[in-house]
């Protein structure tokens, strides 16, 4: 609690109070001679107190009570739960790596220092249960990293968001460019890569063409497009 005064007029009021106090003493010092010593000076003291009280009120005192509380900053943890996180590569199973991180010392330390908000994201985003589960099953195939960062951006406007942690293989398939969204954020983004940077060996049928009608024991032409990746 603090006591504040009007700063613009306080100096002049103090000067005036001192001048009035001096004038009061000069005027009433003769009165003190007509009364016993203590009684006369008691009257002067009462008059001085009245003058100081008057000028104290002219200073417009105001009592200000300030109450504050400390809250931990927020940290948003986004966990990639797309189907690609269920793959295994030369570094091991990606989902197992995520589960080890979620139950490890890093997350426990963050929970002690910050208010940790955890989301699972794929094509959509949803909060994860607290406390965090020991394992998280992959959801759908699409991955929208830009959408996760967009959510973090909107949260930073209303909450004290200290930073964003992304746990992903970095393979974004839908949504906005995550690099552009991250560049527009005014908070740090920490990315923890999961999985090997080398492409997995895979082959896929991406297109095919054939007649809609075929006859028994007849040959028809079929055109197909295959895509191969990895070594």
Q: Are 25 and 43 contacting, i.e. CB atoms less than 8 angstroms apart? A: no
The one-digit pLDDT tens for each residue of the chain (231 residues) are: 555 555 555 565 566 666 666 666 666 565 555 555 566 566 667 776 776 676 666 666 666 666 677 778 889 999 988 887 877 777 888 888 888 888 888 888 988 888 888 888 888 888 887 665 656 666 677 888 998 888 888 877 777 788 899 998 888 888 888 888 888 888 899 998 888 776 667 777 888 888 888 888 888 888 999 877 666
Query: Taking the domains of the chain in order of start, what are their residue ranges?
Result: 2-64, 74-193
pLDDT tens per residue, range 201-214? 777 788 888 888 88
Q: Which residues pair with 163 in a beta bridge?
A: 75
Task: Supply the pTM of this predicted model.
Answer: 0.58
- Which residue in 72, 74, 71, 67 sits closest to 157, CA to CA? 74
Angle between helices 105-113 and 94-102 (to 10 degrees): 40
74-193, CATH topology level: Rossmann fold (3.40.50)
- Which residue in 135, 142, 133, 192 sits closest to 163, CA to CA? 192
Neighbour tally for 124: CB within 10 Å: 12
């Amino acid at each position: 609690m603090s006591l504040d005064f009007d700063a613009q007029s306080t100096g002049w009021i103090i000067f005036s109070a001192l001048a009035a106090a001096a004038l009061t003493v000069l005027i009433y010092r003769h009165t003190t001679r007509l009364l016993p010593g203590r009684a006369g000076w008691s009257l002067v003291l009462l008059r001085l107190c009245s003058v100081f009280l008057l000028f104290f009120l002219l200073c417009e005192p105001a009592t200000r009570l300030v109450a504050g509380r400390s809250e931990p900053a927020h940290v948003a943890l986004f966990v990639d739960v797309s189907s690609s996180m269920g793959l295994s590569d030369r570094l091991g199973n990606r989902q197992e790596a995520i589960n080890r991180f979620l139950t490890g010392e890093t997350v426990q330390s963050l929970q002690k220092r910050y208010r940790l908000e955890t989301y699972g994201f794929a094509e959509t985003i949803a909060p994860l249960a607290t406390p965090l589960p020991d394992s998280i099953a992959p959801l759908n195939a699409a991955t929208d990293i830009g959408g996760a960062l967009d959510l973090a951006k909107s949260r930073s406007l209303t909450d004290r968001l200290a930073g964003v942690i992304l746990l992903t293989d970095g393979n974004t398939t839908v949504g906005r460019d995550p690099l552009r969204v991250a560049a527009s954020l005014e908070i740090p983004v920490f990315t923890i890569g999961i999985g090997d940077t080398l492409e997995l060996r895979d082959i896929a049928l991406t297109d095919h063409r054939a007649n809609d009608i075929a006859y028994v024991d007849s040959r028809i032409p079929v055109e197909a497009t295959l895509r191969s990746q990895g070594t």
